[in-house]
Amino acid sequence: MSLPTFMQKGLSALLKVVKLTDPSTISQAVTTLEQHFTLTTDEIAQAYQQSYESALKALVVGLSQASVFDAKVIKEFAEQIIPNYLQPFAAQQGLQGSALQQFCTDTIANCQALIPHKALLFQGDQTQLSETELAALITDTDSLSITELVLEQLRRLKPTRPYLLDDQFVAFLRHNDLLGTAILFFLHEQLRQEPRVETTLAALQRQGLWQDVRDIKDSLKQLMTRLDLSEQIKPSDELTHHNRDSLKAITETALKLKQLPTNNPQYSQLVIMGGSALSSTGALPEAENFFTQAQYIARTDNDRGLAAFNLFQLRVRSRDFEPALTALQEAIKINPHRYALHDIDKYPIERILGAGGMGCVFLCQHKLRKQRVVVKCFWEHSKGTAEQVFKEAFAMSDIASEYVPAPLDYGYVDAAKQERAFFVTQYIDGAIDGETWLKQHGKLDLEEGLQVGLQIAKGLQAAHAAGILHLDLKPANILLKKTSEVSNLSDISVKIIDFGLSQVASPLQQQLVSQQTHKTQLSLLGQAVFGTLDYAAPEQQGFKQYGEPSAKSDVFAFGATLYRLLTNESPRKLNPKRLANAPELFELLCDCVEEAPAHRPSIAEIINKLQALQKQIKPSQREKEQPDEELEKLLEIARKKYEQNPLSYLSYLHHSDDETSKDNIPVACPYCDTVFAVTQDGGTKCPNCHWDFEIDDDGDVISLYEDENDDKRL
């Protein structure tokens, strides 16, 4: 009697765990099977009967309370039933409450009623497998589901109680290939205890034609447990400390996984684990290949969703946001309860704005109000009610609404477990963070820098007065937006983001400090997070002699941030040459980044100094007295003439025959560029810098200052 297809599948999965493509190795493997694998089809059928019964018993145990009399191996599989099968199936079917309870009761009864059919399902005789059948076991590439094959056999039996195979029960057995996975699990456990099978596998392993998947899985699990890794990767995984032994173990395991045939039932689970381990070493391309294969080949939604979510995490690390969002949406589509990072029904995602040490930031659409909002989702966060966790962040809207985006909403994806917190704020169209500003517009000029610095300082002052610290101030957390333009000057409005969130999440940079991870080991995300340590005060970096973080910690970050915005250079070491035109401002910034908090100025002192410096530089165009309408037109004409050729314009002014015109024609100061109208006596004294000058017959500027040093300003 030949072996039925659905029985061949289980044996093939057990034996074919190394890719055999060379005809000589296939022949060698078949010879080994002929020598040692001498089970009859009846013995194989009995093994299937027992595995089928154990699979259904495990379903019963998993849906009810396990008994102390249940076998250990049954309990092992039963523990997976609720989290990996029932919960996602119930969410998919909309089962909850009493309906879910009734479904479990009916499923238990159905499983118990199906067990007696095992002898009719799996039958054999005393014949051994032929050479052709043995070859098929190790060359089979068909990925037919064992669940479907067994269900087909059950339908052919025409059970006396038709409701045993009602649609919802069958859908549950099919979900993530539950029935087939359970049967294979127990079949392999049982066959490995058979001496002839054990001898066969040992011989194949010696020849390099077989790998024990259990050994690979067990060793990988132990390694990941020791390194605090899991199948679902997280941003902090790349901070994992590896030694030579752990790196060697992961590399060797990855090589073994590459040898596995993709139709192995455990392939997707194993490569997901391997990809997670690889990602912790920084081997992101290789890990991404594993997750991509798993997503494509996975037989279950569980594996497919997990692979997609891991791809999202990897691509966020590489700051490849568009494909990262595609992967996240694939994962959410499969299991929104597990993978959604915020309330996606209320706030559908448009795109990823960025990611950092605290979490990932999305641009979303408020579904009801039809307006854009920003949703920040946290990698890790404090426990507590949402009101407690986001208390400070919402308080900032009352304390310093002028300097922070308006908070709109907050919550948990899973409120019962207080998991996956998110925070919603207004979206400011046209605003960009400080780092993006530097890339698009370059460094701020002195006037812009003072303007921006004052707004940041005033926002900090309001927060500190209320006892709220930022503790993560940096250019990336400063939103800048041009609000108006007059000539070449501009007004820039400032919003400080992530205020009041320092107590919500434990940023990755804190783990970087504690582990002292070297920068070159990190992904683009990790390197960006590492770079933010340049803005963290010594007391935030583990130097306990400086005490606990305080308002002076924000002062340190303020100094580093403003230096960065003014110079477009790292604030790790302040260079006086970069602010040679503003020595007093440079001195202030140096005071801000003093190592000892006591040596740093207060926010009030910073504000006073910045305001004083503003008065010393030439006033911006909007602060000057507004000329009358006629003079405004003349000024505009003069500006254009002067911009085209300053000396030609001044010569024109000097040689003009219309004496009365000198009372109204504007002139541009050759020292500070201020445009003003000449006095009635024809004098040209600048009202801004007070420099008195004339123009000779040749159009040259003559200073009327007696101090020769003033002439040198020409």
Is the confidence at residue 439, as pLDDT, over 50? yes
pLDDT confidence of 699, banded at 50, 70, 90?
low
pLDDT at residue 684 in the model: 67
Give every CB contact of residue 708 below 8 A, 6+ residues apart in sequence.
Answer: none
Give every CB contact of residue 623 below 8 A, 6+ residues apart in sequence.
Answer: none
Q: Of the spans 143-147, 393-397, 479-483, which averages the highest pLDDT?
A: 479-483
How far, CA to CA in Å, does 288 sit from each of 87, 150, 331? 28, 35, 15
Own/partner contacts of 586-591, CB < 8 Å, gap of 24 or more, are: 588/559, 589/559, 589/562, 589/563, 590/559, 591/559
pLDDT at residue 621 in the model: 38
Residue 216's CB is within 10 A of a number of other CB atoms, namely 21
pLDDT at residue 153 in the model: 85
pLDDT at residue 487 in the model: 41
DSSP per position, 338-351: HH-SS-TTTS-EEE
pLDDT confidence of 708, banded at 50, 70, 90?
very low
Rg of the chain (C-alpha set): 37
* Mean of all residue pLDDT scores within the chain: 83
Q: Exposure of 675 by Cβ count < 10 A (0-12 exposed, 13-18 middle, 19+ buried)?
A: buried
More confident residue, 514 or 590: 590
pLDDT in tens, 242-278: 899 999 999 999 998 988 877 777 889 999 999 999 9
Question: Is the four-CA dihedral 460, 509, 323, 297 of positive or negative sign?
Answer: negative
More confident residue, 691 or 24: 24
Give every CB contact of residue 230 below 8 A, 6+ residues apart in sequence.
Answer: 224, 276
pLDDT at residue 706 in the model: 41
Residue 344 has which token pair? Answer: 């996606």
Distance CA 669, CA 650 (A): 10
How far, CA to CA in Å, does 603 sit from each of 546, 559, 592? 19, 11, 10
Residue 412's CB is within 10 A of a number of other CB atoms, namely 18
| Lowest pLDDT segment from 370-379, 411-420, 558-567, 650-659 | 650-659
pLDDT at residue 107 in the model: 94
How large is the average pLDDT for residues 369-395? 86
pLDDT at residue 707 in the model: 43
Distance CA 267, CA 92 (A): 25
CA-wise closest residue to 279 among 323, 227, 233, 321: 233
CA-wise closest residue to 217 among 178, 277, 273, 167: 273
SS3 state of residue 425: strand
Distance CA 601, CA 367 (A): 46
pLDDT at residue 236 in the model: 83
CA-wise closest residue to 220 among 231, 236, 234: 231
Complete edge-to-edge strand list for the sheet that includes strand 701-703: 684-685, 692-695, 701-703
Helix (H) or strand (E) holding 371: strand 371-378
Distance CA 500, CA 494 (A): 17
Complete edge-to-edge strand list for the sheet that includes strand 478-486: 432-433, 478-486, 489-496
pLDDT at residue 340 in the model: 96
Residue 535 has which token pair? Answer: 């803005």
Distance CA 187, CA 210 (A): 18
| Lowest pLDDT segment from 249-253, 636-640, 678-682 | 678-682
- 680: phi then psi, degrees, rounded to nearest 5: -60, -30
SS3 state of residue 411: strand
Q: Of the spans 25-29, 208-212, 586-590, 632-636, which averages the highest pLDDT?
A: 586-590
Is the confidence at residue 530, as pLDDT, over 70? no
Is the confidence at residue 643, as pLDDT, over 70? no
CA-wise closest residue to 690 among 709, 674, 666: 674
pLDDT at residue 620 in the model: 45
Give every CB contact of residue 613 below 8 A, 6+ residues apart in sequence.
Answer: 450, 582, 584, 585
Contact 565, 477 (CB under 8 A): no
Residue 541 has which token pair? Answer: 């970096």
pLDDT at residue 473 in the model: 94
CA-wise closest residue to 342 among 388, 308, 374: 374
More confident residue, 100 or 266: 100
> If you ran DSSP here, which 8-state letter would residue 40 be given?
B
pLDDT at residue 137 in the model: 79
More confident residue, 234 or 565: 565
- Give the percent of the chain with pLDDT over 70: 78
pLDDT at residue 509 in the model: 56
Is the confidence at residue 240, as pLDDT, over 50? yes
Q: Exposure of 429 by Cβ count < 10 A (0-12 exposed, 13-18 middle, 19+ buried)?
A: exposed
pLDDT at residue 126 in the model: 87
Domains of the chain: 5-206 (no CATH), 213-339 (1.25.40.10), 432-621 (1.10.510.10), 626-711 (no CATH)
Distance of CA 29 to the CA centre of its chain: 46
Distance CA 112, CA 53 (A): 9
Contact 359, 410 (CB under 8 A): no
Complete edge-to-edge strand list for the sheet that includes strand 371-378: 349-355, 359-366, 371-378, 419-426, 407-414
Distance CA 565, CA 464 (A): 23
SS3 state of residue 32: helix
